Chains A and B, each alone.
Chain A
Amino acid sequence: MNDSKVKGRVQSANERVHNFDEVEFGYNEEEALKEANRCLQCKNPRCVQGCPVHIAIPEFIKCIKEKNFKKAYEVISDSSSLPAICGRVCPQEKQCESMCIKGLKGEAISIGALERYVATYALENNLSSTISKEKNGKNIAIVGSGPAGLSCAGELARAGFDVTIYEVLHKPGGVLVYGIPEFRLPKSIVQKEIDSLKKIGVKILCDVFIGNSLTIDDLREKYDAIFLGTGAGLPRFMGIEGENANQVFSANEVLTRINLMGAYKNDAKTPVKKGKVAYIIGGGNVAIDAVRSLKRLGVDARIMYRRSIEELPARKMEVEHAMEEGIPFEFLVNPKKILVDEDNNVVGMEVVNMKLGEKGEDGRASVEEDLSSLHTVSCDMVVMALGTSPNHTALKNSDIKLTDRSLIEVDGGKTSIDSVYAGGDAVTGAATVILAMEAGKNAAKEIIEQFKN
């Protein structure tokens, strides 16, 4: 019996490299039913253990089988506040789907695609978990409107808290808006999730830079508790010669210009640099998002990653899509120096081949340079996608304890200051949307606990 998964329909690679429309169309009802019917409904479901927020996966899939999509949405909503987003951006192959018993011998159930189907159904039918309790009179401030802040806000608002989110940018959504491109996560989806939070009473104030416009102490005077979901911070650079050349950008800058400022549209008021040949340095989701965005703008954009294909940290589906789109990946090579002309314009890079060594404690192979392999490549644009280092503007004049990696120290979700909680990338360093959501949700639970009675 053929038991392969129902493949999701996508825009063809030839077509989609010329637009920013969503790549995947998502299942229709027939496809969702067919895929749901593959689920074995395990008594001891391993997939649930693989999910950072422990969605009752077999249960919602059962609801799909029964065509009770509303119930399926309720099941998911019990655990996740942003299913339309997670269905699209979670690295399912490393989480729920990696644990699926079916995956041992064949293909795992496409749990992410099913989650997305349910979430789409809910958005189209205006189902939102508006079940909010009576107001309890407690005011909570949330700093940052990314996935951590949004999920914390949703949880608290539904529990009867009065929630205000502060956002420094002019649009709420954090990385969902400035980072993840339209073709992977349409901004209309993010907007709908934000609108549904507003519907249950969450207030969002943009253009406020906590630390500068207001300090944590100011917030402590006005609010009963604070959640800090300030995100990953400053983009990292390599510290190599020529890195401040005119056409060396952080992936964050390229993505912010394209996504937040809409530079992919012809009539956009904010430009984005389009080189002829651009190397994106790194192999995470941000690198893949940047390379695919630039490709769509007509740039010969390539990935340069110092490890091998097996170590690529990006979501598997995105790597596959990028390869289908004809994006070259150069593995086991790393820049040593950026070459510039007299006007500081990028003309190429001096690069070195890398050798993989033993696997470290984190399961990733160490890498070492093969200095005999030094050679040059030509390009006129370089984009660094190397992760981030903490930005503690929000903590100005506060004595919140930091870890030795300079991240916010928490016990559960509690920081060292009374009634101040934190979660997401500001606590863990750059991670995933779902982990940030989980942290936001867990902090919300602790806040609810604090104000019980």
Chain B
Amino acid sequence: MYRIVYNKLICNNTYELLVEAPLVVEKCMPGQFVIVMSKEDSERIPLTIYDYDKKKGLLYLIYQVIGASTEELSTMKDNIFGVVGPLGNANEICANVDMFKGKRICYVAGGVGIAPVYPQVKFLKEHGFDVDVIYGAREANLLLIRDKIEKVVHKISYATDDGSFGIKGFVTDVLKKNIDKYDIVVAIGPVIMMKNVVLVTKEYNVKTIVSMNPLMVDGSGMCGACRCEVAGKPKFACIHGPEFDGFEVDFDLALKRLNVYKDEEKEKWQQMKKILEGGK
């Protein structure tokens, strides 16, 4: 059991969960993720690490309620059954700051993708980098953790689909205009956004790192559910990723593979809603 400090709604269907998990945060690095389980019989949910306090052993996570298991997680109050991690590899830049000194870096985040972007930008600031961020969402009130991210960026630009904050348009519109300023782009968000970012960066041959979020079961390399096609070869996001060279990822395949369990998930969500209503 892992003690919940808080598990609160921060916007729309998005929650912030703070949980005690000292063994997870002791060694964690930006870019890594964890798997959480609400109860003993729950699904294993992979979530990217958003923030951590190594001294206090606290782990910060942000998640969106998008199905049965995240719905269940949002109802957890005192403890959750499981947190395992850190899983996957650290972000390439954060893990090799000396190699990347002097590089001009831009992060592109979409929606809750800002959560895994935040610890990377914060880490890089602490290591002397000035990092720009382009952050997009459908509308203004879906932009998350603005106060936190603004404290660690060099410059941040916003884009919303409806123009309710920042420019009206997509993150790629902002990126296109500024692409000559950067040596490296890191894109984290919906697969379609990462695909579109790579379409821009590839044209200008700017190295691009993306973070994949496929379906996953064990998270330790045992099952292969999370495989992505990278440079024509299957790679496991849990062990070989979650970050890959954006030029090499087959995004169309990744998009299709996200739908593997769509029907089953719909059904489970209905079941879960009934269970949760019954419990009230």
Tell me if A234 and B236 are in contact (CB < 8 A): yes
* B33-60 to A contact mask, C-beta < 8 Å, 1/0: 0000100111110000000000000000
Chain B residues in 8 Å Cβ range of A212: 27, 32, 85-87
Known pairs A253-B223, A256-B222; A246 contacts B84 (CB<8 A): no
- Chain B residues, Cβ within 8 Å of A79: none
Q: Identify which of A213, A234, A261, A343 contacts B239 (C-beta below 8 A).
A: A234
A273 contacts the other chain (CB 8 A): yes
Contact residues of A between 365 and 391, Cβ < 8 Å to B: 391
Stretch at the interface among A262-270, A348-356, A401-409: A262-270
Taking CB as reference atom, which chain B residue is nearest A243? B234
B217 CB contact (under 8 Å) in A206, A213, A231, A253: A253
Query: Which residue of chain B has the shortest Cβ distance to A344 in the bound complex?
Result: B256
Q: Is B260 an interface residue (CB 8 A)?
A: yes
The answer for the CA separation of A207 and B227 in the assembled complex, in Å, is 22
Q: How many residues of B contact A (CB 8 A)?
A: 47
B239 contacts A168, C-beta separation under 8 Å: no
Residue in A closest to B39 when the chains form the complex, CB atoms? A269
Q: Is the CB of A271 within 8 A of B217?
A: no
A247 interface hit (Cβ, 8 Å): yes
> How far is B268's CA from A103's CA once the two chains are assembled, in angstroms?
52
Interface residue? A452 (CB, 8 A): no
B86 near A213: Cβ-Cβ < 8 Å: yes
**Contact indicator per residue, chain B 229-260, by CB within 8 Å of chain A (1) or not (0):** 10000101001000000000010010011011
A249 contacts the other chain (CB 8 A): yes
Binding site secondary structure of chain B: mixed
In the complex, are the beta carbons of A271 and B268 less than 8 A apart? yes
Q: Is the CB of A208 within 8 A of B23?
A: yes
B224 proximity list for chain A (CB < 8 A): 234-235, 237, 249-250, 252-253
- 21 pairs from A and B in contact (CB 8 Å cutoff): A170-B37, A209-B84, A209-B87, A209-B220, A212-B87, A213-B23, A234-B221, A235-B222, A244-B253, A246-B257, A252-B223, A253-B224, A256-B222, A256-B223, A262-B41, A267-B271, A269-B68, A269-B72, A269-B272, A270-B217, A273-B261
A233 located at the interface, meaning its Cβ lies under 8 Å from any Cβ of chain B in the complex? yes
Question: Are B42 and A344 neighbours in the complex by a CB distance under 8 Å?
Answer: no
What's the nearest-Cβ distance from chain A to residue B67, in Å?
10
Answer whether residue B204 sits at the interface, using C-beta atoms and an 8 A cutoff.
no
A271 to B208: give the CA distance in the assembly, Å: 34
